[in-house]
């Protein structure tokens, strides 16, 4: 790994503009909570933490309840299906950022048994037909890597499959 700063000099309105690139390697410790969450996804289980005071189940989990400041230790498994709370269809391309090609959709999904929403990609969907309130199901990545895309995306549940 290298720490790289490069320079090119350009001119604008008779003044110089220095152009560079900053590339700095970094590591982030996932910590106990996220490590356990990702261990759950490896077994296709979505884990959350229940706040002992607020009683809300936070998915994805975190160490401290932002509302009451409780230390969260009460692990619960929630469903891999849930309700789409809000969404957007993205029409512009940012190949360095977007994991999929535009147009594609982001949504916030509240899983069954969770009280918070999970921001994610929506896949295998008619993106013109998305509606808040529709039910979605997690599609797990075949070979989990220990990151957020171990759920590859959420897909709409066919009406015929439930009811």
Partner 1 sequence: MDKVAIIGVGQTRYERGNTKSFAELVYEVTRKALDDAGLELDNIDNVVTTTNDFYDGRTIACMAVAEASGSYGRDATNVEGDGTLSAFYGLMRTLSGVYDATIVTTHCKMSEGNPRKLFNQAFDPIYDRILGMDAISSSALQARAYMDRYGVTEEQCAMVSVKNHANARNNPYAHVALEITIDDVMKSPMLAEPIKRLDISPISDGACAIILATEERARKSAKKPVWVRGVAHCTDAYRLGERDLTYSAALETAAKKAYKMAGIRNPFKQIDVAEVYDAFSYMELMWYEGLGFCDRGKGGKLVESGKTQMGGELPVNPSGGVLSAHPVQVAGLARIAEAVLQLRGEAGGRQVPGAKTALAHGITGICGQTHCVWVLSNEEA
Q: Where does this chain bind partner 1 (CB under 8 A)? A: 12-13, 15, 17, 20, 22, 28, 30-31, 34, 58, 60, 66-67, 85-92, 94, 96-99, 106-108, 110, 116-121, 132, 147-149
Q: Which pair of structure tokens corresponds to residue 125?
A: 């969907």
Q: Report the distance separating Cα 100 and Cα 129, nearest Å.
A: 19
Write out the DSSP string of 121-142.
EE-SS-GGG--TT-EEEEEE-S
Least spacing, CB of residue 122 vs partner 1, in Å:
11
Least spacing, CB of residue 43 vs partner 1, in Å:
19
Q: Report the distance separating Cα 10 and Cα 19, nearest Å.
A: 7
Q: Which is nearer to partner 1, 21 or 160 (CB)?
A: 21
Least spacing, CB of residue 149 vs partner 1, in Å:
6
The length of the chain, given as a count of residues? 163
Q: Which is nearer to partner 1, 117 or 144 (CB)?
A: 117
Least spacing, CB of residue 66 vs partner 1, in Å:
5
Q: Could you give the angle at the alpha carbon of 144 between the alpha carbons of 66 and 135, nearest 5°?
A: 60
Q: Which is nearer to partner 1, 115 or 160 (CB)?
A: 115
Q: Which is nearer to partner 1, 96 or 158 (CB)?
A: 96
Stretch (H or E) spanning 77: strand 74-78
């Amino acid at each position: 790994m290298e720490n790289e700063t490069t320079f090119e000099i350009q001119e604008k309105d008779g003044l110089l503009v220095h152009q560079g690139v900053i590339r700095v390697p970094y590591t982030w410790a996932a910590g106990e909570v996220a490590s356990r969450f990702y261990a759950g996804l490896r077994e296709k289980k979505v884990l959350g933490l229940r706040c002992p005071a607020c009683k809300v189940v936070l998915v994805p989990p975190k160490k401290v309840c932002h509302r009451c400041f409780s230390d969260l230790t009460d692990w619960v498994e929630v469903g891999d299906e849930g309700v789409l709370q809000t969404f957007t269809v993205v029409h512009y391309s940012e190949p360095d950022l977007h994991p999929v090609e535009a147009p594609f959709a982001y949504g916030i999904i509240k899983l069954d048994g969770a009280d918070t929403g999970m921001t994610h990609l929506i896949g295998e969907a008619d993106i013109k037909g998305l509606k808040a309130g529709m039910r979605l199901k997690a599609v797990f990545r075949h070979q989990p890597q220990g990151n957020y895309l171990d759920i590859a995306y959420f897909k709409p549940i066919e009406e015929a499959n439930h009811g």
